[in-house]
Amino acid sequence: MYPRSLQLAAILALISIPVLLPAQETTGIEHERMQAIAARQQAEWFGPHNKVTVAFRILNSGGTVDFNNLGAVPGKIVPPASQGAVNRVYDTGYVDADAPRSTEVDANGNQVSPPGGRYTIYGTQADGSKTPVAEILGYQTGLSREWQEYTQGQFEEKPGYLALTNYSTTSEGGHFTDKMGNAAGVELDYTRLIGRVSRRFQWGITTGLALNSISGQQSGSVTATLNAHTDYYLLHGTPDAAPTGGPTFGQYVVNGVVVNEVGMETTVPVNQTPDESLSSNTATPGGVNVDGRWTVKGAYFMMKLGPSLRAQFNDHWEMTASAGFAGAYAGSTYTAAENFTLASLPDGATPGVPDIQQSTTAKFLTGYYADLTVEWAANERTGVFGGITAQQLSDYEQMVAARVARVDLGSAVGVRGGISISF
């Protein structure tokens, strides 16, 4: 019986071969079909792997600017006595460089007037005769007939001398703080999807650039130390009551007749250079209020890089979150305009040097960022999105003379929105 059973099994195996072959072929086709379906589903859920977004951004704060060491107004610089006959300008007057006038020199430029003496100027009458019309003080080396003072006290401070003073101020730590308001900007991001966490979630890397403005300003008044530097010029005579200066002129009288109302020079000359051994310096703490306006204007490029996680809800809606490192290249201009007034000076006289001062700087800052966006896809390639953003960046300092501005971009949150292109 055993040989017969083997023969029966062999016959059955031969009969089943044609049936098993189509079954195996059907199983392979089904596997390929399932793979195609899975690939199609993956494409439906995850689509293209690259995305570029262009967006606007509005942050709730542009940071803060602390303006410190305010109230330092420099004084006018006066050439030393060693420079000889040059113009010297002070807050309370001046002494200009003097030289022979055109009526005191011959055709070759040589002085013909008596140095320090007087000479007569003649006028030609209709009949050709010469008559005296003026009497002028001659130039003398080392003296100046061109000077000015404002108050009588400048003669009385040191009798026999003209006192001329320059003022400046030193900061006593005056400061203001400006918290910058909303800051608008633009950004450009690129995201590369790399792998899948689950059927609905995929992860990738996001990098991008953002541009925002820096704008801080303050104006007001701060208390400062008042500095005074006084030089003394020897007077060669007794001037009239201030304000007087030189040159000065009075009536020119010949034989009891007024020939010229301003023909007689009455100038009292002063030394061309100050007596530096008599110069003095004083400082009065809290002696003056300095008015000013201080501004910092600029912008920063923020570069960001970090991982991202994308969740796709259906064919049109998805959400993306990203966070990571941020670095910013900041550039700004610090402008300071300060001035002060003194009751002892005439109206309109501005002491010190109230020129606008500026400096520019560029710094690299570090920090972090975080973005959360919701996107609606119009089609497979384009979409629109909106969301929130947060960032934190470090601070930097910028100086104008002794003034310091500390710019702290700090922490900020805001909204962002724009369009996306996938490929």
| Contacts of the segment 127-132: beta carbons below 8 A, 24+ positions apart | 131/254, 131/259, 132/252, 132/254, 132/259
Confidence (pLDDT) at 12: 47
Give, in degrees to the nearest 5, the angle at Cα 83 between 82 and 88: 115
Position 22: which residue type?
P
Confidence (pLDDT) at 49: 87
Confidence (pLDDT) at 348: 79
d(CA 69, CA 402): 7
Confidence (pLDDT) at 269: 97
**How far is residue 271 CA from its own chain's centroid?**
44
Confidence (pLDDT) at 36: 58
Indicate the pTM of the whole model: 0.76
Confidence (pLDDT) at 417: 95
Confidence (pLDDT) at 44: 47
The domain segmentation of the chain, as residue ranges, is 2-29+42-99+139-422
d(CA 230, CA 165): 4
Across 346-361, b (16+ Cβ under 10 Å) vs e yields eeeeebbebeebeeeb
The first and second tokens of residue 183, run together, are 């800051």
Residue numbers of the chain with a pLDDT score lower than 50:
1-3, 6, 9-10, 12-14, 16-17, 19-21, 23-26, 43-46
Burial class (CB in 10 A: 0-12, 13-18, 19+), 246: buried
